[in-house]
Structures are given as C-alpha cells and as structure tokens.
Amino acid sequence: MATKIKSVFFCQSCGYESSKWMGQCPGCREWNTFVEETVKPAAKAVKGVPSSAASGEYIQPKTLSEIVMNDEERYDTHIGELNRVLGGGLVKGSLILVGGDPGIGKSTILLQVAGNISGDKRDVLYISGEESLQQIKLRANRIGGFTEQLKFMCETNLSNIEETISRQKPQVVIIDSIQTMYNESVSSAPGSVSQVRESTSVLLRIAKSMNISVFIVGHVTKEGQVAGPRVLEHMVDTVLYFEGDRHASYRILRAVKNRFGSTNEIGVFEMQEKGLVEVTNPSEFMLDGRPEGASGSIVTCSVEGTRPILIEVQALVTRTNFGFPRRQANGTDYNRVNLLMAVLEKRIGLQMSDFDAYVNLAGGMKVAEPSLDLGICLALVSSFKNKPISDDVIAFGEVGLSGEVRSVSMGDARVSEAKKLGFKTCIVPKALESKLKKNFKDIEIIGVSSVADAMKVI
C-alpha cells in the first residue's frame, strides 16, 4: 500500500506542531509563524521487540561507582577568547551552534579556527552551502595561514556530506550553514523547521558516533535568536552568539548554553582587515575615547564570568518639550533605569518628572548586572546638576528601592581592574569597605551605604 503523506503546520519560532493553521502559536504566543509542510509517517516498529534485543545486545544499567570518568580531550583553537568562552578549548565529539547577525563574523572566526586546528596536524573539513570554493579562497587568502590538513567542500545534501565524512574521517567539521542543508528523507524545503531539525539530528549522530567536533552556523531572526525550532538549541552541546553592530569594529562572543563550561564568560574581538583579532584587555578597549570633564559620565565595573570589565556609563538629562518625558536606555535594562530614576526622585528629592533621560553604555556592551545601579544613579545626578565627576573615580554597587547600596560579588577583582587602569578612588558598598581597604593600600576605597552618601562623596 502506498505511503500516506499528510500536511501539518509547524511554528517557525518554537517548532510547535498543529494539524491546522492558527494565527497565534499556543507554545510561544507568536503571531503568523505557522507554515505548512508535508511529512511522511515513520515506519512502524516491530511490536514487543526492544531495539537492543533486536540487535542481539542488552545494555546493562550501571551504578554510580561503576561509571569510569575520563578527562575531556580538548583541541586548542589558538584563539584565547574563544577558548575562554568554550570552557578551555574545543571538546572532542561536541556539537556547537554559532549564531549571529549576517556579516558579523561567524564564518570568518570559524575559518580562522579551521586554519589554527589544521596547523596542529589535525584534519579539518569545511563544508559550505552558501559560498563557492572560489569565494572561500578569496576570504582564506585575506586571512592567511592554512595547511594541507584543511579541506573544503561545497555541498548541501546531507547524505553526500555523511558519506564524505565517513571516508575522510576528519577530526573537526564546520557546517556553514544549517539552514542550507537538506535531508532527502524529509520532503520539505531547505531551511524549514523539519529540515533544520532533522539535519541537526543527523549531524548530532555523526558527532557522537564518530567522535568528531562539529561546528554549525545558524542564521538568526529579526529578534536576534537562531532561526528554526527552539529544540535546535536543546540538541546541541554549546550555543554561541555573536553580539555587536556589524558596522562597528568590536564583536562580543557569548555562550548561551555550554555543557562543558560556564555560560558567564564572554570573548571580545575586533574586526580587522585580516579577520577577527582577540581583545585581551576589554576594559581599556571599552574606555578608549572617553571624554574628559564631561557631566553625566562615570566608569563602573561589571563582571562577566571571572572577568571584570570597566564600562563607561553615560547619562543625558534634559528638560522635556512635551507633556510626557521620554526615557531611553541603550545597553542596559530600560525598566531598571526607570526604577532607579524613581528612587532618585523619592529618596533624594530630585524632581526629574519634567526631564527626558537617556542612558548609554559606551562601547556597545549589553549588561544587566545590578552592580551598574550606583554608576547609573551617579551619572543621572551628574547630568541633572550639570556637574562633572572626576575622571579617576569608579563606582559600583546595587541600589535598592530604599536608596540603599547593597553589596556585590567579586569586589576584589573589580578594584584590582580599576587599579590596573590607573583609577585613584573607588566608591563601593559599605559592606565591602573594610575588606577592600585591607587588600588595597594604594587606592582610595570609600564605602557608602546609600545613594545620598555617594552624592556627598562625589
């Protein structure tokens, strides 16, 4: 009897499946995301026969003491910022998804990684479904430094790709990109929900069964998330996102998911003519070009994983020309800025209800850490009173609704970073003052218990 083919509707945002079209997805609540796809039912399994029994094998469950731990074998990518984000290097047999806006540098950094790993006498296979071999060679000549261990291939058929991998047996495979791959067993078009999901499943099986490290490049939606079903991020071992403006020189690589390391680490890169160059001192890079003697500007410190980063907080407070004041935040939480302005108005007595307020984190960083609260408050007050803050002052601390300044983690690392870049005074929460004064003798530590105290110090 002929195989019956049916049509189903998939949500392009989360992969929710429905037998009919719906305007709003019940899973992710997005509108107009359902697309129709034709699917073939899977072959029926033999009833009463487990898969392991059918193959003549039986998997014996093990106790915790019987499980043997092996050290994870990692490849050095020779890019320190990438190694940091990955948790110490590329884990053998892992599946890594790299997402980001078009033109931000996903293919560039993976081509650099391929060249570095192949330089260690390891076989690397770079498979592109978007560029021809001539286009890849143009970019490779610009980057430079490749060996015969690196091989290139232009293919979108997963059956041919799997056959090539099984014959070549490379140690690292790069797929650019997953939206261009198609599986012949799936009748839908490349880039559809079904194709992306099934193609990733095939690559996951290749990575685990052959112990090959696989990089997957993923396109992103206009919201900045990897296109395709949400289950795609659950299938892979690591999800990396490139952040930053494609027209700016800086790039920030952030791990959203990592089974082999921390998700708090970030890598900072600068786009140059010969590719992405790692920025080993992000604080100095972020503070480059800071104006001197300008009101509404102060330096604060954020911690990303184990790395402290100094960031300039800029604020502009001007009298509004309309009945309703305008508020805008760039790089930090908009609602958090509104909350801090309400604290200043209630606890300090600043009448800011008739003023527009704009807050910006210079350098393009996006930070939601509460340690920026004190810096944002002082920058707003400085702009409101049009009085500049000394250039050698740094402030950090969380601000509560009562106007109190609460303690934050890793105070030693923050002050050490400030000292390294030549700052003379640190305004810190009162709870950290005694400890920091013992550890740092050649930098002035001032502890404050409230925003009002910090204003008096400034």
How many Å apart are CA 395 and CA 254, to the nearest integer?
A: 25
Between 217-231, 300-314, 355-369, 434-448, the lowest mean confidence (pLDDT) is in 217-231
Positive or negative: CA dihedral 433, 435, 438, 443: negative
How many Å apart are CA 16 and CA 12, to the nearest integer?
A: 8
Give yes or no: residues 93 and 161 share one domain.
yes
State the virtual CA torsion across 44, 48, 51, 53 in degrees, nearest 10: -150
CATH number, residue 446 = 3.30.230.10
Residue 54 reports pLDDT greater than 80: no
Dump pLDDT digits (tens) for 336-353: 999 999 999 999 989 888
Band the pLDDT of 273: cuts 50, 70, 90. Answer: confident
Give yes or no: residues 125 and 236 share one domain.
yes
Give yes or no: residues 33 and 82 share one domain.
no
Q: Does the residue 45 lie in any domain? A: no
Higher pLDDT, 342 or 194: 342
In sequence order, what E strands does 247-320 have? 250-258, 266-272, 275-278, 297-304, 307-319
Q: Does the residue 308 lie in any domain? A: yes
Residue 247 reports pLDDT greater than 80: no
How many Å apart are CA 338 and CA 189, to the nearest integer?
A: 46
State the virtual CA torsion across 263, 410, 294, 246 in degrees, nearest 10: -10
How many Å apart are CA 83 and CA 114, to the nearest integer?
A: 14
Band the pLDDT of 425: cuts 50, 70, 90. Answer: very high
Q: Does the residue 53 lie in any domain? A: no
Q: Does the residue 362 lie in any domain? A: yes
Mean pLDDT over all residues of the chain?
86
Q: Does the residue 65 lie in any domain? A: no
Q: What percent of the chain has pLDDT over 90?
A: 49
How many Å apart are CA 36 and CA 46, to the nearest integer?
A: 31
Residue 196 reports pLDDT greater than 90: no
If phi > 0 it is left, if psi is from -120 to 50 it is alpha, else beta; for residue 191 that is left
Q: For residue 34, what are the domain limits? A: 1-40
Residue 96 reports pLDDT greater than 60: yes
Between 56-60, 210-214, 247-251, the lowest mean confidence (pLDDT) is in 56-60
Q: How many structural domains compose the chain?
A: 3
Give yes or no: residues 193 and 154 share one domain.
yes
Q: Which structure tokens are listed for 27?
A: 């899973």
Q: Does the residue 232 lie in any domain? A: yes
Give yes or no: residues 317 and 228 share one domain.
no
Band the pLDDT of 20: cuts 50, 70, 90. Answer: confident
Give yes or no: residues 241 and 265 share one domain.
yes
| Phi, psi of 119, deg, nearest 5 | -70, -15
Give yes or no: residues 206 and 347 share one domain.
no
Q: At what angle do helices 411-420 and 430-439 cross, to 10 degrees?
A: 60
Give yes or no: residues 262 and 294 share one domain.
no
Q: What pLDDT does residue 69 have?
A: 72
Q: What pLDDT does residue 284 have?
A: 85
Give yes or no: residues 275 and 299 share one domain.
no
Between 100-114, 204-218, 221-235, 320-334, the lowest mean confidence (pLDDT) is in 221-235
- What integer is the mean pLDDT of 246-275? 85
Q: What pLDDT does residue 46 have?
A: 46
Q: Which of 220, 209, 233, 230 is nearest to 96 (CA)?
A: 233
Dump pLDDT digits (tens) for 366-411: 888 999 999 999 999 999 999 999 999 999 999 999 999 999 999 9
Q: What percent of the chain has pLDDT over 70?
A: 91
Among the candidates 260, 279, 298, a domain finishes at 279
Give yes or no: residues 128 and 16 share one domain.
no
Q: Does the residue 359 lie in any domain? A: yes
Q: What pLDDT does residue 306 have?
A: 81
Band the pLDDT of 11: cuts 50, 70, 90. Answer: confident
Give yes or no: residues 115 and 263 share one domain.
yes
Q: Does the residue 54 lie in any domain? A: no
CATH number, residue 270 = 3.40.50.300
Give yes or no: residues 293 and 173 share one domain.
no
